[in-house]
Structure 1
Amino acid sequence: MPEQGPEPLWREALGRSLRGIREEQGGRLIDIAERAGISPQYLSEIERGRKEPSSEMIAAVTGALGIGLPDLLTGIAGEVGRHRHPRPARRPAGPLLMAA
């Protein structure tokens, strides 16, 4: 069953995915930031979900990590999917009975 609670914001899911990939690779924040051409502080804020980077920034970071955008998006979709709320039950269609 999916987890209950609020769905994560895009920037939070993106940041967790990027951090997870970087840590799996054993990469240091400072090295990835340098390869991406951004400051370590900015990359840290992205990873913590505090900044919502442009598509150009996302491309720079994924390039520095050596991953493709489809791989990143698949990971984010998986995380967001775990937080989905179940849909409310739909009422069956049929005639409405009204009291007189």
Structure 2
Amino acid sequence: MILVRHEIGEVLRDFRQQKGRTLRQVAGRASVALGYLSEVERGQKEASSEILASVAEALEVPISIIMREVSDRLSVLEGMPTFPDVVPDDLVALDAELAESELSLH
């Protein structure tokens, strides 16, 4: 069974380690108990949206980036295709053509 809390914990740990911060540093900046944050990172506890926001702020990472990474990981675990972060060139060209044709109609 895929548990979202496991992926959230792994993403938070990955970002913390990428930033070169200790669990104690992040817990202190986020005003979260060290033991609780440790349990969140290990996927043993569900973090509230307030806790996630505090930890994201302590890590200086937007919560949207954290949740996107969680979503991407869940997609992989579920065997779903991942989608590119950019709009393909052919869709950009089509959008430009549609906008141009709308202008010519007016």
Give me the TM-score of the superposition, normalised by structure 1: 0.76
- Partner of 1:52, secondary structure, is coil
Tell me the equivalent position of 1:77: 71
Q: Which has the higher contact order (CA 8 A, sep 6+)?
A: 1
Counterparts of 1:53 and 1:62, CA distance in 2: 12
Counterparts of 1:75 and 1:15, CA distance in 2: 11
29, 33, 39: which one pairs with 1:35? 29
45, 55, 59: which one pairs with 1:51? 45
Show structure 1 runs of 4+ deviating over 4 A.
none
Structure in which a larger fraction of residues adopt helix: 2
Superposed displacement of residue 78, structure 1: 1.0
Counterparts of 2:71 and 2:18, CA distance in 1: 19
Tell me the equivalent position of 1:12: 6
Superposed displacement of residue 13, structure 1: 0.6
Unaligned runs of 5+ in 1: 1-5, 87-100
Identity %: 34
Give me the TM-score of the superposition, normalised by structure 2: 0.72
CA deviations 1:6-51 (Å, max 9, x no partner) are 4x31110100000000001111000000000011111100000000
Tell me the equivalent position of 2:96: none
Root-mean-square deviation (CA, aligned residues, Å) is 1.2
